[in-house]
Structure 1
Amino acid sequence: MGELKVLIVDDEYLIRNLLKMRIDWGKQGMTIIGEASNAIEALHFVDEHKPDIIFTDIYMPSIDGIEFSERVLKKYPDIKIVVVTGHDEFEYARKSIKIGITDFILKPIHASELLHVTEKLRQKINEERARELELEKLKEELKQNFPYLKEKFLFHWLNGTLSRKEICEKAEYFGVLLCCGAGALQIAVIEISPVSVKQTEEQLILLRMECRKKIEAFYRENPQVIILTDTRNQIIIVNQNPDANLAAGCEELITNLTQSSRCTVSIGIGQKLENIEAAHLGYQEACRALYYQAFVGKNQVICFEDIVENGDQQYRSNASLLQQLQFYISVGSSERVVEVLIAIFNVSFSSISQFRMAAMDVFRECQRAAIEQQIEDEPDIRETLVSILTADHLPELTKSLESYVLHVAMAIYSKKQTKEGNLISQVKEYLETNMSNPEMGLASTAAAFFVSPGHLGRLMKKETKQTFVEYLTNIRMKKAEALLKRTDLKGYEIGEQVGIIDPHYFSLLFKKSLGRPMNEYRNS
């Protein structure tokens, strides 16, 4: 970081000279850039040369060292000041600690004490500069990540995880214009798909980026519109202009995008809301409306209020039951899946469209579980969707859904069984190879296969009808029996080869397992 610049201030020439000659300043990483005989002269020098460290006497004509230090630190708080004081002045000097004096050094000045003080100063300054450098790097990283953090905030807002106060504070920080007062709020979700299915992931990303830029250009003159991308790569429009016709604008947007890019565009629009805290409801409604593209086709604007028939009671998803459904599908529990499915439809629907929406919620959770578990051998999805669309009464619909959901649950269960069987085979081979390790146990083996000890223990019991310890002991005793028959190794040597280093314990296990002591077994 370069040599530190030092200024010495004292009205006595001998003291200034003594300070200069007492130590090798160069070895301390410092250089004396000047000296002053009074505070006035020193203040001018500080303004011109900005030293890193100042050594100053207390008693000087006109302005004493304490007042001088206070003036310097008020203007340059980073400068380190060391007060040079006698024993009779020390109590007075110590009171100046509140103004920010870094250290004190007593007269007469000893080289060891001066070295100790300069070493502390150099270390402190270097640490502060390192922190400042790190802070500058962090600020630069923040600047680079600012667009991502801004979009992350908006996504949290639309997922309902922020309070009104948090929304307004973060919006101000990120420079997002939000109508924090009462006002109309409406959200649209846009799904971009390529015309050709034979596109690489890179081409798909570029297509969505291109479309987002065009959407941003479309709304460039409207500061009341916010645009972002969610985790499903859907583009979200948040409209805060109560007088704007969002549906009409989206119709025009579809025309522009499909004419200029090789893509299909589907847009779902939620209902108008009155406050920013309810944005997550509008986002959910827009997503739900978007699912209806399976019914109406691509390149359409689908409004949530149009897919819900007029009535006193509107359909609302049961998030808790849907979460349970996805869990039981994911673990392949067919019995539980049916129970939750019955509970989801065990409500009073006022229209066919309402229970079709419930069916679409179930279908979506089923699809999500299948994707997460990488299940590809599903029944014809198109056929399932058609059955949902054409079902005229609840029993017909639930029967069709139940068949589909059970198929996916069973496929997941079958895959898990195969995976668990493969895992146990690998564990068995691992134990055979490493049984000589006396530290071998359930926890270390589970860690080697990146599973929890409890899970591995349950799988071992299920697959081998033995606990982990019973299985490991069994294969160790079989190996010991073979070594006893084929070699002249002593008992303790065999115990070491199978991972049991305590001879007494090994003898007990052998006798318990094979019914006879080792010597008797070998002699027979």
Structure 2
Amino acid sequence: MYNLLLVDDEPDVRQRLMNGMNWSDQGFNVVDTAENGLEAIERIERYRPELVITDISMPFMNGLELSDWIRVEYPATRIVLLTGYDEFEFAKRAIKLDVDEFILKPFSMEEIVQALVRVKQRIEAEERRFEDVKMLREHYRTSLPVLRETFLASLLSRKMSHSQIVEQARTYEVALDGTGYAVSVINLQHYDEQLKEGNNHGLNSQSSSLQISGDLNLQLFAILNIAGELWSKRKMGRVFLHQDHIVLLSISRTSDQSNSILRHTITLLQELLLQIDRLLKLKVTIGLGDPISRLDELREAYDGAMQAIEYRLLEESNRIIYIGDVEMRAYNRLRFNKMKEQELVRCLKLGAVAKVKEVVYELFNELIEAEVPYRDYKMYIVEILTSVLKAARETDAYLEDIHGALGNVFLEIEAQETLSAARDWLTAICTNLTETVMLNRKQSFGQFVQQAMEYVHTHFADRELSINQVCNYLHISVGYFSSIFKKETTVTFVTYLINIRMEAAKELLSTTDLKAFEIAERVAFADPNYFSFTFKKHIGISPKEYRNRIAKEWSTGT
């Protein structure tokens, strides 16, 4: 059963609609009625109906204005417009608002029933699409063999000996025996643009459901399924997720391992690109590292594939980038882990103190495992610190206020005589910064709401004042502001604005001789009749009765 709201300023039309059919037989429950668009807004916020049937021509706020508000605040709500013949041009405008149906007056109840059937079918179809996405997400959560995936990921993030890898592969029953290996990485870098494209096309396929979901994990899982089936069918190796990327491990069992594994991997990757584009309509870039002959070299091969991905901005999208084609073969050197850098910055901005410490320790563990003299680590530490400074600048938490003057930062690095000392020094900087970010976030909610309330008190007499205007002033989104404002004040922004205007009207009625229409103008009501209507609705009596009551209280001294 879906909730429905009827909006029409004519009582006989509302009565005819209410009594003209058994709404429950059509799968709808009429939760309430409203006389105009402004009343409808209050009802919609209270009941959250799935469908609104509204007339176009109404006082105070017409049906098109109401539809525009619904599309901003409750975009999933379905809309049916009722219109007279002389309003047909208005009805054509409704198409731009994505209105589901519009029905010409005078109408028959059969026309209403037919419209309800169509709207109900659309609602049910949308629910089925979201159910498909939900089921796919649940399948994703339960189907991955966690232990095997963890082991495979560890091959790319930890330094392990060949014997350790062979032993653990046997434990987890992962077949890794081979004469040559290659590592490829799939990067889904254009999914935001594909989401926009998906909204402009049909939404009947699974690929469209993936696009409208905007769920990167779900999109990656769909690609993972296709790649896994292809790799399994050709007996090429393993496919798994690692740090928001899909990793394809190719295994060769022929004697000519180097040329064979590279040639076969590229051929298979080309086929995979075609399938992803045809089945999912998603654009990806695939990085391919140099072929290797030993399992304990997998981390280096993975780094090469990730390095190839970095060239995606210089290359066309939806293609394979082989590191050997874009770079000279790199000699062994210490490289800053870009994935860890991104994780460190993300944790700093989120205020995750414990996780920041963990990431810093992991970065330094890589330094220790590299086994090179400490003097060679200094530029690596500078790169880590640069990421910290970027995060500090973006969160307005300046490092000077937390851990001394930046002018001495290189001297401080030089002063650290051991890796453990450098690690503790950098951990202290990151911890203090993260705690500052966390404190700022807790204070920001109340500050935003307080600034909004002050802005309303200053500008309530402006007829153009709206939630969009306030959000532009605060530089935050309407959805985010609505959430924190309701959380902090327990009322919606619209209700709060009306309350402020009513309090101002009471003050003017009590302290001035201004007429009602003059007071209406001063509190941003263009229509005196609607001002009186709103005042009585919120205060309980009309403006004239309120002024008389105040005058009587003054005369009697009460």
Q: Normalised by the size of structure 1, how large is the TM-score?
A: 0.35
Larger Rg: 1
Q: If each structure's helix is expressed as a fraction of its own residues, which one has the higher value? A: 2
